[in-house]
Amino acid sequence: MPQEAVLALKASEGGLFVDGTLGLGGHTEAILKASPEARVIALEWNQASLELARRRLASYGDRVVFELRNFARVDEVLEELGVREVKGMILDLGLSSFLIEGSGRGFSFLKEEPLDMRMDEGLKITAKDLVNRLSEAELAKLIFRLGEERFARRIAKAIVRARQRHPVENTKDLAEIISRAVPSWYRHRRRHPATKTFQALRLAVNRELDNLNRFLEKAPDFLTSGGRLVIISFHSLEDRLVKHHFRRDPRLKVINKKPLRPSSEEVARNPRARSAKMRVAERVREVDHG
């Protein structure tokens, strides 16, 4: 939803923005194109993605500052750069096509790849570690809580039974274990039966909800009065977290009561956008109690 995001950020007016999830640079480029006065501090914690985006955006020169850091550390980045306030910030919490198709990290169950799922190689725990080390109860809890998977217990039991024979090491093996564990009617729906379990493992490995919470606590302090915070999420846990935080935070005013959704044209071009929800909040002027 790049154009919707640019409108929500009021990027055409120019100013300094933060793209907390640079990916391959789509939103940053849209912001830079919106106004010659727009500048972006771009954060990305996957080294390969950052380098690809750097090449894509090379023509914009010093209008972009690249930082190899997770968005949860946005306060550190801005303080190090001497930036006290920005006009807007955006997060796109979806996985980039590069991570799914080109990283070889096991984000997709449609290909046979190692069970890694780390967005940053510096992280110590992989999906393989979780699948092979957690107890059955711990696995079931993780899959149910982070994947909202109704058959979490059956899947956890099947994983533990399979790993007793040999470790579960790749995406294809795990997807097959999950498919055999669930009822036949569940296997033949539009969504692959491994989708929610893979989601849960990815969220756990990368501590994505913790990072989002940390960002939401810090980000409003760096927004100028009237500055916008735009967050695009792709599943209910993230969207719920953003919705509740926007409503509770006295620093923010909710702009869209209901999340914005992608157009049918965008979904036709990019089916992965189907579940996207965009929420927008604005920094309110602080009340002087003096």
Per-residue pLDDT of the chain (290 residues), as tens digits, is 788 999 999 999 999 999 999 999 999 999 999 999 999 999 999 898 999 999 999 999 999 999 999 999 999 999 999 999 999 999 999 887 777 777 788 988 888 999 999 998 889 999 999 999 999 999 999 999 999 999 999 999 999 999 999 999 999 999 999 999 999 999 888 889 999 999 999 999 999 999 999 999 999 999 999 999 999 999 899 999 999 999 999 999 999 989 998 887 877 777 777 789 999 999 997 644 43
pTM of the model: 0.90
Q: Is residue 261 part of a domain?
A: yes
Give the Cα separation of 45 and 51 in Å (integer): 11
288 lies in a domain?
no
Structural domains in the chain (count): 2
Residues 168 and 226 in one domain: no
Q: Taking a C-beta distance cutoff of 8 angstroms, is the pair 40, 19 a contact? A: yes
Cα angle value 247/217/30 (rounded, 5°): 85
Q: Does residue 164 share a domain with residue 109?
A: yes
Report if residue 290 sits inside a domain: no
State whether 185 and 245 are in the same domain.
Answer: no
Domain stop point among 206, 232, 265:
206
Residues 148 and 182 in one domain: yes
Q: At what angle do helices 152-163 and 171-181 cross, to 10 degrees?
A: 130
Among the candidates 188, 206, 224, a domain finishes at 206
CA-wise closest residue to 237 among 191, 272, 202: 202
Residues at the binding site for S-adenosyl-L-methionine are 25-27, 44, 71, 92
Give φ, ψ of 51 to 5 degrees.
-65, -40
Q: What residues form the annotated binding site?
A: 25-27, 44, 71, 92
Answer yes or no: is 99 within a domain: no
pLDDT for residue 288? 41
Is 215 part of any domain? Answer: yes
Q: Does residue 289 belong to any structural domain of this protein?
A: no
**Same-domain check for residues 73 and 109:** no
Decide which of 179, 206, 233 is a domain's last residue: 206
Residue 214 and residue 190 share a domain: no
Q: Is there a domain that residue 82 lies in?
A: yes
- 98 within some domain: no
| 199/239 same-domain check | no
Position 98 scores a pLDDT of 74
**Domain carrying residue 173:** 104-206
Residue 143 belongs to domain with CATH number: 1.10.150.170
Query: What confidence score (pLDDT) does residue 87 get?
Result: 98
Residues 223 and 196 in one domain: no
Do 194 and 59 belong together in one domain?
no
Q: Hey, what amino acid is at 203?
A: L
> Measuring CA to CA, how many Å separate 197 from each of 3, 74, 101, 110, 147?
32, 29, 19, 14, 6
Same domain, yes or no: 156 and 232: no
CA neighbours closer than 13 Å in the CB half-sphere of residue 69: 17
pLDDT in the model for residue 126: 97
10 and 153: one domain?
A: no
Do 224 and 179 sit in the same domain of this protein? no
